[in-house]
Amino acid sequence: MEKSFFLVALSLILLFSTVNSLGFEEKDLVSEESFWDLYERWRTHHTVSRSIDEKHKRFNVFKENVKYIHSFNKKDAPYKLKLNKFGDMTNHEFRSTYAGSKVNHHRIFRGSPNGTGSFMYEKVTNIPPSIDWRQKGAVTNVKDQGQCGSCWAFSTVVAVEGINQIKTKKLVSLSEQELIDCDNTDNQGCDGGLMEYAFEYIKKNRGITTEENYPYTAVEGTCNLSKEKSRVVVIDGHENVPENDEDALLKTVTNQPVSVAIDASSQDFQFYSEGVFTGDCGTDLDHGVAIVGYGTTVDGTKYWIVKNSWGSDWGERGYIRMERGISDKEGQCGIAMEASYPIKSSANPPEKKASHTVDEL
């Protein structure tokens, strides 16, 4: 009786604390039994259900991940890791599901749209020491792509939401699902895509609709033409930031949030918790994210503020700070290799005065 009360209380606590990740202590790692206990708590916390068979296989992966995180955090690195919702996934599985934009694949096999071929921020000279577009109201809440390789759509939308707020002073959450379902010419829904194609799709469609009108489902569906035609925010194409040039990237971020491709495949990226990410990673671009600011820590480490699409429980409330100005000209994890941003000079279509609500009455 007492025990069941305790369990109810516990599950309520877990219910209300799901935005935080589950911590663990030394004593959780002492025996097979304590590890199992931790695994069960982790599964409850992240509401991960696994079949009995799978559980045994996954338990071993979980154990190795926990050990890795534990020993990493004992080191004196500028960033920390945490046990998050990717806790029982191998790095290989993680990569194929969450870092699956196949940006490089696209680039190599299809070429990519060149944008206008010009760079409008070339002559920018006024570079403040830091910028945070979140504080300027140009960034929506962190979203979660789920198990769908649609990071490219999320990355695109961050940049379009940003420039739209900068030009109109209105922050409107826009639809990734429209891009996934309707931009079928070059992009491949949950199987990856490129932000540059998505900007061009929005231009060609003469706008994109809202998140509210065309909500996210994490699966590729048939394009809903009536929603596609319900255009709310217009852009006029895109430009590419000159590649491998973090100064050019800085000039751009000073003016608007920017879509970037990175190599997010490392185990440290998988379990990143906080701090400036200085970890080893390649330049095999596989993940689309967006830079929404930059700054410098008190000890002088320069960083980019990067919005991810893995929910707000990953990293720093859904964000990662990545080292800026490293000696490799490709930038940390290739962040300066394929940056692009939407152009907006055209006004949005006039707002429809909620006529459907009137109809419903």
Ligand X SMILES: *[C@@H]1O[C@H](CO)[C@@H](O)[C@H](O)[C@H]1NC(C)=O
Looking at residues 285 to 324 of the shown chain, list those that interact with ligand X (rule: CB under 6 A): none
User: In the complex with ligand X, which residue's Cβ is closer, 85 or 227?
Assistant: 227
End-to-end CA distance of the chain, in Å? 51
Could you tell me which of 46, 10, 163, 186 has the C-alpha nearest to residue 113?
Answer: 186
- Contact segment (CB under 6 A) with ligand X among 139-147, 222-230, 235-243, 288-296 equals 222-230
Instruction: State the Cα–Cα distance between residues 346 and 361, nearest whole angstrom.
Output: 34
- Contact segment (CB under 6 A) with ligand X among 128-136, 157-165, 219-227, 286-294 equals 219-227
User: In the complex with ligand X, which residue's Cβ is closer, 229 or 317?
Assistant: 229
By the 10 Å C-beta count (0-12 exposed, 13-18 middle, 19+ buried), 276 is classed as buried
Min dist CB 226 to ligand X, Å, is: 5
Lay out the site mask for ligand X across 224-263 (x = CB under 6 A, - = otherwise).
Answer: x-xx------------------------------------
Question: What is each CA distance from 58 to 49, 100, 271, 272, 338, in whole angstroms?
Answer: 11, 21, 16, 20, 35
Most distant pair of Cα atoms in the chain: their distance: 72
Min dist CB 140 to ligand X, Å, is: 21
Annotation says 190 is catalytic: no
Task: Count CA within 13 A, CB hemisphere, residue 188.
Answer: 11
Q: Which of 164, 187, 240, 308 is catalytic?
A: 308
Min dist CB 200 to ligand X, Å, is: 11
Binding of residue 210 to ligand X (CB under 6 A): no
User: In the complex with ligand X, which residue's Cβ is closer, 11 or 226?
Assistant: 226
Copy the structure tokens of residue 73: 């955090």
Q: How many other CB atoms sit within 10 Å of the CB of residue 18? A: 14
- List 293's β-bridge partners, or say none: 132, 305
User: In the complex with ligand X, which residue's Cβ is closer, 76 or 359?
Assistant: 359
Question: What is each CA distance from 259 to 16, 87, 199, 327, 339, in whole angstroms?
Answer: 33, 28, 10, 22, 6
Min dist CB 206 to ligand X, Å, is: 18
Contacts of 239 (CB under 8 A, 6+ apart): 115, 116, 118, 119, 120, 340, 341, 343
- Contact segment (CB under 6 A) with ligand X among 63-71, 223-231, 246-254, 331-339 equals 223-231
Binding of residue 168 to ligand X (CB under 6 A): no
User: In the complex with ligand X, which residue's Cβ is closer, 221 or 282?
Assistant: 221
User: In the complex with ligand X, which residue's Cβ is closer, 101 or 112?
Assistant: 112
Instruction: State the Cα–Cα distance between residues 331 and 315, nearest whole angstrom.
Output: 20
Binding of residue 114 to ligand X (CB under 6 A): yes
Q: Total residues at the site for ligand X (CB under 6 A)?
A: 4
Min dist CB 230 to ligand X, Å, is: 7
Radius of gyration in angstroms for the set of CA atoms belonging to the chain, rounded to a whole number: 21
Annotation says 287 is catalytic: yes
User: In the complex with ligand X, which residue's Cβ is closer, 45 or 227?
Assistant: 227
Q: How many other CB atoms sit within 10 Å of the CB of residue 27? A: 9
- Contact segment (CB under 6 A) with ligand X among 16-24, 121-129, 220-228, 326-334 equals 220-228
Residue 66 phi, psi dihedral angles, 5° rounding? -60, -45
Min dist CB 170 to ligand X, Å, is: 22
Task: Count CA within 13 A, CB hemisphere, residue 56.
Answer: 2
Min dist CB 84 to ligand X, Å, is: 34
Q: Which of 151, 190, 281, 333 is catalytic?
A: 151
Q: Name the residues that contact ligand X, by CB under 6 A.
A: 114, 224, 226-227
Residues known to be catalytic: 151, 287, 308
